[in-house]
């Protein structure tokens, strides 16, 4: 299969009329691993929400395509069918819907893009078998599949549930927004190995959003990008991660005063309550 390309060009996005992303350009090919780092509030989650089509995030300029197909005009579920997957920083719970039920529907929709609501789901027997295998590999108790999605899940369980979705949906591109946050040391390894297994099996292009080096020791990025004030100001290899760990973000701000100024302005506005 041809490697697909996710191409983001000069993407601008706003929330409540306030511009957060100010021209993000990024190309991810299937099989590549990219890391996206940057200070709190720099727009990392905004980028993932804008790409997934969250209604609060308005794209005002720029493009995002998969193999040339504009994804920004698609509904969120159509973006998933086009091969995009987002593991949320803060997954929401869906009371009344079990993990298994949710996944069976999601998997049926993504694997059979022409499926209409109410039409056949993938056969229970096949689904169960696959789910059990994936849960085994992620070290999850099968009992877990009977629980309501994210309801009362511990931080670590939520993250595992996200990676289970990834493993079942097998997307061409996966954005993992702080999948390492709240995980204990062993869980970071287990979850990372899960991501690597999926990525190597199907050649998923991965964008790992993180603040810390630890997860990147397991999910090894070839490319590292730094977001500041809503744009990517630095791109490089894994050595960038070491430099950030050692020196923090001040050198980045000094090197990119325009972006640092935008960061300050956004913070000031927030303090002034203009986001109400
Ligand atoms: N729904 C929202 N309403 C108002 N402001 C928002 C909303 N979502 C994001 N913002 C603002 O947009 C800016 C970027 O937020 P975003 O969540 O993208 O940052 P981030 O880089 O993911 O930060 P972190 O590292 O803390 O997760 C912040 O100033 C944030 O307060
Ligand atoms: Mg975030």
* Residue 252 beta carbon below 6 angstroms from any ligand 1 atom: no
Element of type H or E holding 18: strand 18-29
The answer to whether the beta carbons of residues 214 and 201 sit under 8 Å apart is no
* Residue 44 beta carbon below 6 angstroms from any ligand 1 atom: yes
Instruction: Confirm whether 99 is domain-assigned.
Output: no
Instruction: Confirm whether 220 is domain-assigned.
Output: yes
Other C-beta atoms within 10 Å of 146: how many?
Answer: 11
Instruction: Confirm whether 123 is domain-assigned.
Output: no
Instruction: Confirm whether 134 is domain-assigned.
Output: no
Instruction: Confirm whether 179 is domain-assigned.
Output: yes
pLDDT in tens, 64-117: 999 999 999 999 889 999 999 999 888 888 889 999 999 999 999 998 878 777
Instruction: Confirm whether 210 is domain-assigned.
Output: yes
**Residue among 14, 18, 20 whose CB has most ligand 1 atoms within 8 A, to mutate:** 20
Instruction: Confirm whether 153 is domain-assigned.
Output: no
Q: What's the domain range around 186?
A: 5-88+171-271
Give the global pTM. Answer: 0.93
Instruction: Confirm whether 10 is domain-assigned.
Output: yes
CATH number, position 27: 3.40.50.300
pLDDT in tens, 21-50: 999 999 999 999 999 999 999 999 999 999
Closest ligand to C-alpha of residue 43 is 1
Q: How many domains does the chain have?
A: 1
The answer to whether the beta carbons of residues 152 and 98 sit under 8 Å apart is no
């Amino acid at each position: 299969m041809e490697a697909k390309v996710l191409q983001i060009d000069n993407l601008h996005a706003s929330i409540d009329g306030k511009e957060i992303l100010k021209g993000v350009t990024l190309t991810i090919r299937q099989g590549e691993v990219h890391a996206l780092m940057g200070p709190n509030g720099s727009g990392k989650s905004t980028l993932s929400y804008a790409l997934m089509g969250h209604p609060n995030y308005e794209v005002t300029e720029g493009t995002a395509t998969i193999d040339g197909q504009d994804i920004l005009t698609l509904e969120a579920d159509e973006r998933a069918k086009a091969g995009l997957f987002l593991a949320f920083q803060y997954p929401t719970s869906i009371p009344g819907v079990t993990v298994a039920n949710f996944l069976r529907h999601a998997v049926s929709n993504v694997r059979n893009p022409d499926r209409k609501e109410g039409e056949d789901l993938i056969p229970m027997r096949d689904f169960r078998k696959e789910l059990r295998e994936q849960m085994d590999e992620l070290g999850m108790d099968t009992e877990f599949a009977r629980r309501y999605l994210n309801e009362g899940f511990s931080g670590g369980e939520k993250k595992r549930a996200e990676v289970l979705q990834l493993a079942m949906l097998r997307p061409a591109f996966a954005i993992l927004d702080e999948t390492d946050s709240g995980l204990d040391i062993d869980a970071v390894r287990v979850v990372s190995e899960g991501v690597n297994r999926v990525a190597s099996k199907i050649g998923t292009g991965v964008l790992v959003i993180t603040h810390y080096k630890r997860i990147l020791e397991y999910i090894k990025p070839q490319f590292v990008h730094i977001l500041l004030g809503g744009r990517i100001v630095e791109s490089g290899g894994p050595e960038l991660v070491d430099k950030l760990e050692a020196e923090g973000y001040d050198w980045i701000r000094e090197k990119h005063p325009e972006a640092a100024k935008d960061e300050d302005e956004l913070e000031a506005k927030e303090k002034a309550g203009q986001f109400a």
